[in-house]
């Protein structure tokens, strides 16, 4: 990770400075080493400013001083990664969540009508004859009931034929049209499929009505799957791949 690398540079660069002397302000860069030294410092500062805004400058300078003298170390060199890695992993997760929340907010503002259309469709569809609704909100209809075995778990690999459309009836993906079944593990597809296929026996054909939260949520997948799309699939479970 860039931040960890930049902090590692601090430890390496510390050996270039003398901490036994008071820091003096340099007015001009007279030699090549002066310029390189200043450039290294600016590079570190820039990386820290954008990747670790919480940095405590006093503690940082003390660490450089301690590292140069190899005395009064508050953390052993061998323990630095154990401190840095979990902290920056947590920061990365927080940044990803913030970014996802921002994207979801922007998508909601732009595609709010699309989300409502899906909710309205599912509210009406659940009352139609033959439509069943699971606790998660997945709706399905049995078109043909098979007699074979069911997938044992979300890691089970299956062979299926499917035909997917959006609420407008536009086809966005179809193994039937391609004339070639698909194989995949159930945990490699959208949650609506993972749940729905575990209800099926080999030889079954179901129709799934998948809410956006069990599909791609705020993400767009091609021109026909806009953010917050409710998806409709006809799925035939051909076999369980051993």
Residues serving a catalytic function are 162, 172-173, 190, 216, 233
Question: Two tokens at 122?
Answer: 């599912």
Q: Sign (positive/negative) of CA torsion 175, 168, 227, 123?
A: negative
Is there a contact between 161 and 204 (Cβ–Cβ < 8 Å)?
no
By DSSP bridging, strand 131-133 and strand 182-185 are unpaired
CA atoms within 13 A on the CB side of 127: 4
Question: Two tokens at 175?
Answer: 């193994």
* Separation of alpha carbons 195 and 153, rounded Å: 10
By DSSP bridging, strand 182-185 and strand 157-165 are antiparallel
Torsion on CA atoms 218, 107, 138, 167, rounded to nearest 10: -110
């Amino acid at each position: 990770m860039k931040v960890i690398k930049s902090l590692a540079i601090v430890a390496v660069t510390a050996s270039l400075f003398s901490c036994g002397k008071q820091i003096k302000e340099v007015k001009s860069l007279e030699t090549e080493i002066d310029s390189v030294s200043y450039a290294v410092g600016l590079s570190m500062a820039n990386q820290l400013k954008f990747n670790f805004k919480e940095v405590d400058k006093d503690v940082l300078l003390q660490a450089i001083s301690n590292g140069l003298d190899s005395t009064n170390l508050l953390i052993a060199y061998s323990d630095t990664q154990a401190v840095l890695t979990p902290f920056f992993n947590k920061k990365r997760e927080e940044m990803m969540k913030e970014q996802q929340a921002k994207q979801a907010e922007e998508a909601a503002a732009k595609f709010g009508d699309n989300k409502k259309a899906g909710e309205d469709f599912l509210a009406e569809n659940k009352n139609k004859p033959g439509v069943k609704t699971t606790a998660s909100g997945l709706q399905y209809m049995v078109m043909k009931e098979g007699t074979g075995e069911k997938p044992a778990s979300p890691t089970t690999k299956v062979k299926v034929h499917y035909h997917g459309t959006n609420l407008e009836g536009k086809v966005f993906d179809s193994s039937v049209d391609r004339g070639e079944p698909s194989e995949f593990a159930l945990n490699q597809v959208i949650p609506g499929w993972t749940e729905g296929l575990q209800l099926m026996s080999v030889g079954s054909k179901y129709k799934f009505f998948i809410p956006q939260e069990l599909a791609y949520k705020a993400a767009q997948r091609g021109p026909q799957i806009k953010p917050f799309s409710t998806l409709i699939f006809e799925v035939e479970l051909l076999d369980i791949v051993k």
